[in-house]
């Protein structure tokens, strides 16, 4: 992937990755299908797909937040996946870098602090793509048993809405989006419901810059026969 970040390309990579995983599960003839994975279980699957596509992938990386508050903010929120165009680059945490300089300043190491610079290839927070991932199923697994998801509608909108708000308030990033992995009864239902999700997000006046998705059939083991990979790009 070269040039500006493309939400369409990210969706295509994620959808192909999940297609491949669904195909592998079919060949294994496993009891559980792709839709048995929750969002935490999907993170490494998607991460590996982005790596195979030539991207750098960083899991559970902290947001910088307001850098000026670095001395009083100990607990920082984390992003599910952060992507870079250089697979070998190190993702810079501006807060950690400045904290080290703060510690060295005013000490015998102050000359070192003034010249501190990361070694090797690096990627700044503003160059990377910050991706939050949510998953929701019409039929979800509870203790290994598939059941209709009574919270389906609220999860479908509430999860990405919260992620969009989180991304939009981060001052150090410039590219990001909220990805929804939706498991639905069939393709028609999935595309309808993902369209409703995007409309609800816009109705809340959230800063959505693009709405892209891709739908494909999956092995129906529990009542979900389709997967929709959708991305709400965030206007930052």
pLDDT, residue 3, reads 58
Task: Express each pLDDT in 61-120 by its tens digit.
Answer: 988 765 555 454 556 789 999 999 999 999 988 665 545 544 545 544 444 444 444 466
**pLDDT reported for residue 143:** 84
Residue scoring higher pLDDT (123 or 214):
214
- Residue 236 is predicted with a pLDDT of 85
* pLDDT tens, residue by residue, 121-166: 889 999 999 999 999 999 999 888 899 999 999 999 999 999 999 9
Please give the pLDDT value at position 117.
Answer: 45
3-state helix/strand/coil string of the chain: CCCCCCHHHHHHHHHHHHHHHHHHHHHHCCCCCHHHCCHHHHHHHHHHHHHHCCCEEEEEEECCCCHHHCCCCCCCCEEEEEEECCCCCEECCHHHHHHHHHHHCCCCCHHHHHHCCCCCCEECCCCCEEEEEEEEECEEEECCEEEECCCHHHHHHHHHHHHHHHHHCCCCCCCEEEEEEEEECCHHHHHHHHHHHHHHHHHCCCCEEEEEEEEEECCCCCCCCEEEEEEEEECC
Q: What mean pLDDT comes out for the span 189-217?
A: 97
pLDDT band at 31 (very low <50, low <70, confident <90, very high): confident
What's residue 106's pLDDT? 52
What pLDDT sits at residue 97?
53
**Which residue has better confidence, 18 or 32?**
18
Mean pLDDT, residues 215-220 taken together: 97
pLDDT of residue 113: 41
């Amino acid at each position: 992937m070269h040039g500006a970040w493309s939400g369409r390309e990210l969706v295509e990579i994620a959808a192909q990755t999940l297609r491949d995983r669904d195909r592998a599960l079919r060949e294994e003839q496993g009891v559980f299908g792709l839709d048995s994975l929750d969002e935490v279980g999907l993170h490494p699957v998607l991460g590996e797909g982005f790596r195979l596509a030539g991207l750098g992938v960083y899991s559970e990386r902290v947001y910088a937040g307001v850098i000026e508050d670095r001395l009083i903010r100990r607990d920082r929120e984390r992003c599910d996946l952060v992507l870079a165009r250089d697979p070998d680059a190190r993702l810079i945490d501006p807060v950690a870098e400045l904290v080290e300089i703060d510690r060295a300043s005013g000490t015998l190491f102050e000359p070192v602090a003034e010249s501190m610079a990361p070694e090797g290839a690096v990627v700044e927070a503003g160059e990377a793509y910050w991706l939050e991932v949510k998953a929701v199923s019409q039929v979800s697994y509870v203790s290994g048993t598939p059941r209709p998801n009574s919270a389906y509608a609220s999860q479908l909108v509430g999860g990405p809405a919260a992620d969009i708000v989180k991304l939009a308030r981060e001052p150090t990033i410039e590219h990001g989006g909220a990805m929804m992995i939706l498991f639905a009864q069939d393709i028609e239902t999935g595309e309808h419901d993902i369209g409703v999700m995007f409309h609800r997000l816009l109705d809340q006046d959230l800063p959505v810059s693009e709405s892209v998705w891709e739908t494909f059939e999956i092995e129906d083991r529990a009542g979900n026969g389709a997967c929709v990979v959708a991305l709400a790009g965030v206007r930052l």
